[in-house]
């Protein structure tokens, strides 16, 4: 089969890879209908993480082509969505709502789903079948559920977005934009998108943002305070992962408020005393996407949400390198790849 390999930072190729096979009786094999490039893939692309002939991709939707002997909840022909972590969905951590930290968790990034096929470990726990074969126009939204929507949703839940709340969103990438959509669905009263790009501002408004703040850093914090009677937002979504973005999120939150942070931390160090006196709640990490999948799939199936709008560029898998370039140069918010 064909699959994306990052030979080195900045060097993305589509190469021949071995077709996956069932290794464990709990595995399934899926033919990938669509995959995509994640903002987190850019860390390696830009040299901020190692990349050495690394198979790429951890987001996927597809059709089951083979199941191991122990798989019971999905069958051949099912259209499925899964999270970027395989999880058993039965351990104590899964049952408490944190499947991405399942005691048997396996990162799908190590498998690489920017490819024609993928082996899905712990298929019963990991995969959720859609109610039927989806209409083609639903594919992007279902694919979004696999990571960016689920991650934005988790960020909004972790930030306790809800009725009566003012929510600020740091980061205007796909996750931040879908955090806005999630905050709206969760009933937030006011949603402030922090963005300085006209196209992203427009999508932010389409997803439910009521206000836009273009300033960043201290000026951004001051603008959020200005909009919230000097107190700061009740809920802040952090969807970047840098020192500046984390401090912007923490400082924009009122005492007792909640920061939901989902940007993978790069070089972030939090001063204990500042955090102490901030009085905020801090929660985040790898989003427990599997927790939300049934609900998110249903919302998409019922056409109540359209998170697939974050894909502003769709390319054949063979053109993956151009997809990486487009995201790196911020010409595209998020790139869908079709094998």
HSE toward the beta carbon, residue 69, CA cutoff 13 A: 3
Q: Does 72 engage in binding with a second copy (CB under 8 A)?
A: no
Q: Does 273 engage in binding with a second copy (CB under 8 A)?
A: yes
C-alpha Rg value of the chain to the nearest Å:
19
Q: How far is the CB of 158 from a second copy (least distance, A)?
A: 8
Q: Does 96 engage in binding with a second copy (CB under 8 A)?
A: yes
Q: Does 107 engage in binding with a second copy (CB under 8 A)?
A: no
Instruction: List the structure tokens of 291.
Output: 């927790």
Binding mask 201-240 for a second copy (x = CB under 8 A): ----------------------------xxx---------
Q: Which of 58, 254, 290, 334 binds a second copy (CB under 8 A)?
A: 254
Instruction: List the structure tokens of 154.
Output: 């988790």
Q: Does 2 engage in binding with a second copy (CB under 8 A)?
A: no
C-alpha–C-alpha distance, residues 237 and 234, integer Å? 10
Cα separation values, 7 from 50, 59, 90, 110, 208, Å:
10, 20, 37, 14, 39
Sort strands 127-129 and 79-82 into parallel, antiparallel or unpaired. Answer: antiparallel
Q: Does 161 engage in binding with a second copy (CB under 8 A)?
A: no
Q: Does 279 engage in binding with a second copy (CB under 8 A)?
A: yes
Task: Decide whether 119 or 258 has the Cβ nearer to a second copy.
Answer: 258
Q: How far is the CB of 282 from a second copy (least distance, A)?
A: 4
**Helix orientation angle between 198-207 and 174-185, rounded to the nearest 10 degrees:** 20
Q: Does 198 engage in binding with a second copy (CB under 8 A)?
A: no
Site size toward a second copy (CB under 8 A) is 41
C-alpha–C-alpha distance, residues 159 and 128, integer Å? 26
Q: Does 98 engage in binding with a second copy (CB under 8 A)?
A: yes
| Residue 258, beta-bridge partner list | 235, 281
Q: Does 38 engage in binding with a second copy (CB under 8 A)?
A: no
Name every residue whose Cβ is closer than 8 Å to that of residue 257 and which is 6 or more positions away in sequence: 232, 233, 234, 235, 236, 280, 281
Q: Does 271 engage in binding with a second copy (CB under 8 A)?
A: yes
Q: How far is the CB of 92 from a second copy (least distance, A)?
A: 6
Task: Decide whether 241 or 339 has the Cβ nearer to a second copy.
Answer: 241
Q: Which of 76, 103, 202, 219 binds a second copy (CB under 8 A)?
A: 103
CB 87 within 8 A of CB 105: yes
Interface contacts to a second copy, rule CB under 8 A: 92-93, 96-98, 100-101, 103, 229-231, 241, 243, 246, 254-256, 261, 264-273, 275-286, 288
């Amino acid at each position: 089969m064909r699959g994306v390999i990052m030979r080195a930072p900045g060097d993305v190729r589509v190469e021949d890879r071995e077709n996956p096979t069932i290794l464990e009786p709990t595995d399934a094999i899926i033919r990938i209908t669509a995959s995509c490039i994640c903002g987190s893939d850019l860390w390696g692309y830009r040299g901020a993480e190692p990349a050495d002939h690394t198979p790429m991709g951890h987001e996927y939707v597809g059709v089951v082509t083979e199941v191991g002997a122990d798989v019971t909840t999905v069958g051949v022909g099912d259209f499925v969505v899964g999270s970027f972590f395989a999880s058993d969905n039965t351990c104590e951590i899964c049952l408490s709502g944190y499947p991405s930290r399942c005691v048997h968790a396996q990162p799908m990034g190590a498998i690489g789903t920017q490819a024609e096929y993928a082996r899905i470990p712990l298929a019963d726990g990991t995969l959720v079948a859609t109610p039927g074969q989806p209409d083609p126009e639903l594919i992007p939204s279902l694919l979004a559920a696999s990571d960016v929507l689920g991650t934005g949703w988790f960020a909004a839940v972790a930030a306790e977005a809800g009725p009566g709340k003012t929510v600020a969103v740091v980061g205007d990438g796909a996750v931040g934009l879908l955090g806005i959509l999630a905050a709206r669905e969760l009933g937030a009263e006011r949603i402030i998108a922090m963005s300085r790009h006209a196209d992203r501002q427009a999508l932010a408004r389409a997803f439910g943002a009521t206000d836009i703040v273009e300033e960043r850093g201290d000026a951004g914090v001051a603008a959020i305070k200005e909009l919230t009677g000097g107190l700061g937002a009740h809920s802040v979504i952090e969807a970047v992962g840098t020192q500046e973005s984390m401090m912007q999120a923490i400082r924009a939150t009122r005492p007792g408020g909640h920061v939901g942070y989902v940007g993978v931390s790069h070089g972030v160090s939090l001063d204990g005393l500042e955090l102490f006196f901030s009085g905020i709640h801090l929660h985040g990490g790898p989003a427990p996407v599997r927790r939300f999948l049934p609900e998110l799939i249903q919302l998409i199936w019922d056409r109540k949400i359209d998170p697939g709008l974050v894909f502003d560029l769709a390319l054949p898998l063979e053109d993956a390198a151009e997809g990486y370039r487009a995201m790196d140069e911020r010409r595209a918010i998020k790139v869908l790849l079709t094998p």
